Amino acid sequence: MVKSMIKTEGIVLKGMKYQETSKILTIYTKGLGKISVMAKGANRPKSTLIANTQPFSYNEFQLTHGRNFYYISQADIIDSFYEIRENMERVSYGFYILELIDKSVPDEEANKKIFLLLEKTLRILAQTQNNYLKLVAAFGLKHISFLGYRPYINGCVVCGNNQGKGFKFSNTEGGIICDNCYTKDYSAKQMDKEVYQAMGDLLYTPLDELDKLDISEDILTKFHQVLEDYILYNIERKDFNSLNFLKLNKANLD
Ligand SMILES: [Zn+2]
């Protein structure tokens, strides 16, 4: 039987050891979306696939399709993003980005916009010296929008009113709601004007122009909490492991 070869770019999200010498990888690919890949022999000390099968590794893959997995026929590295691993904070935010993709996208459903967003975010993260949260928040907001959950922020998502004094953010309605519409979602949380402003700025500013945005650490942290809750609500998850780790680290540093 001749197996057809599939050629696609992909970024390794995670990997786990399989038996003694192999690895099962989760790879987000441009052409196939999120797939499970068996990397035979990748766990051998002298395997030629070691660099290609690390998290963050961005490759041109040639794959064949088996019964349960894809198999790697060839992998050519495009970028290892080794700079991400050189810095503790960078790598922690990096793992959060990979986990967010892994937990939010459906299996085997290609989405070129999300692939390009991931690639671009990792590229920028690799060169970022500080303000990691701004990049990660912008990434999360754009990603959830590309998944089809762009929050409505041009006015109250229920009645359209944009003259209100105060706003709340509603996960269930998918946007901001005004004081008159509070009965639509009693769990909606109050949102400061600055946080609301930050949301619009992060949504509409391209990733490579984030330097232009001056958002305080405090506002970013508040915004990111709103965003995290909103993302978790939409992807029906309770938490992100890597984010807990980040928070723990931060608490220790403070
Ligand atoms: Zn309203």
For residue 159, the CA-to-ligand 1 centroid distance in Å is: 4
For the domain that residue 61 is a member of, what is the CATH number? Answer: 2.40.50.140
For residue 158, the CA-to-ligand 1 centroid distance in Å is: 5
For residue 233, the CA-to-ligand 1 centroid distance in Å is: 21
Please check whether residues 247 and 192 belong to one and the same domain.
Answer: yes
Please check whether residues 65 and 140 belong to one and the same domain.
Answer: no
Residue 212 lies in a domain: yes
For residue 33, the CA-to-ligand 1 centroid distance in Å is: 38
Residue 204 lies in a domain: yes
- Tell me how far CA of residue 122 lies from CA of 1, 45, 94, in angstroms: 39, 27, 7
Using one digit for the tens of pLDDT, what is the confidence trace for 46-60? 999 999 999 999 999
* Residue range(s) defining the domain that contains residue 16: 6-80
For residue 228, the CA-to-ligand 1 centroid distance in Å is: 23
Q: What is the pLDDT of residue 162?
A: 81
Based on the structure, what is the number of domains in the chain? Answer: 2
Please check whether residues 40 and 100 belong to one and the same domain.
Answer: no
Phi, psi torsion values for 14, nearest 5 degrees: -165, 165
Please check whether residues 126 and 68 belong to one and the same domain.
Answer: no
For residue 163, the CA-to-ligand 1 centroid distance in Å is: 10
- Tell me how far CA of residue 115 lies from CA of 24, 62, 232, in angstroms: 21, 17, 20
Question: Which residues of the chain carry a pLDDT beneath 70?
Answer: 1-3, 164-165, 245, 248-254
From 28, 63, 80, give the residue that closes a domain. 80
For residue 176, the CA-to-ligand 1 centroid distance in Å is: 8
For residue 189, the CA-to-ligand 1 centroid distance in Å is: 14
Please check whether residues 71 and 107 belong to one and the same domain.
Answer: no
Please check whether residues 244 and 171 belong to one and the same domain.
Answer: yes
211's CB contacts (< 8 A; 6+ apart) are: none
Q: What is the DSSP letter of 185?
A: -
For residue 37, the CA-to-ligand 1 centroid distance in Å is: 47
Residue 1 lies in a domain: no
Please check whether residues 45 and 117 belong to one and the same domain.
Answer: no
The closest alpha carbon to 30, from 48, 51, 8, 14, belongs to 8
Residue 202 lies in a domain: yes
Please check whether residues 132 and 193 belong to one and the same domain.
Answer: yes
For residue 157, the CA-to-ligand 1 centroid distance in Å is: 7
List the end-to-end C-alpha distance of the chain, in Å, as a whole number: 60
For residue 192, the CA-to-ligand 1 centroid distance in Å is: 17
Please check whether residues 229 and 215 belong to one and the same domain.
Answer: yes
For residue 46, the CA-to-ligand 1 centroid distance in Å is: 62
For residue 220, the CA-to-ligand 1 centroid distance in Å is: 25
* Alpha-carbon dihedral angle through residues 243, 50, 57, 81, given to the nearest 10 degrees: 90
Model's pTM, two decimal places?
A: 0.93
Please check whether residues 156 and 38 belong to one and the same domain.
Answer: no
For the domain that residue 128 is a member of, what is the CATH number? Answer: 1.20.1440.120
From 54, 80, 106, give the residue that closes a domain. 80
For residue 164, the CA-to-ligand 1 centroid distance in Å is: 8
Q: What is the pLDDT of residue 240?
A: 87
From 55, 80, 105, give the residue that closes a domain. 80
- Kindly state the tokens that stand for 175: 């946007």
Q: What is the pLDDT of residue 79?
A: 97
Residue 150 lies in a domain: yes
231's CB contacts (< 8 A; 6+ apart) are: 100, 104, 140, 144
Beta partners for residue 35, in sequence order: 27
Q: How far apart are CA 32 and CA 106, in angstroms?
A: 11
Please check whether residues 75 and 195 belong to one and the same domain.
Answer: no
Please check whether residues 158 and 236 belong to one and the same domain.
Answer: yes
For residue 235, the CA-to-ligand 1 centroid distance in Å is: 25
Buried b (16+ CB within 10 A) or exposed e, 24-48: bbbbbbbebbbbebbbbebbeeebe
For residue 129, the CA-to-ligand 1 centroid distance in Å is: 41
For residue 74, the CA-to-ligand 1 centroid distance in Å is: 55
For residue 180, the CA-to-ligand 1 centroid distance in Å is: 5
For residue 161, the CA-to-ligand 1 centroid distance in Å is: 5
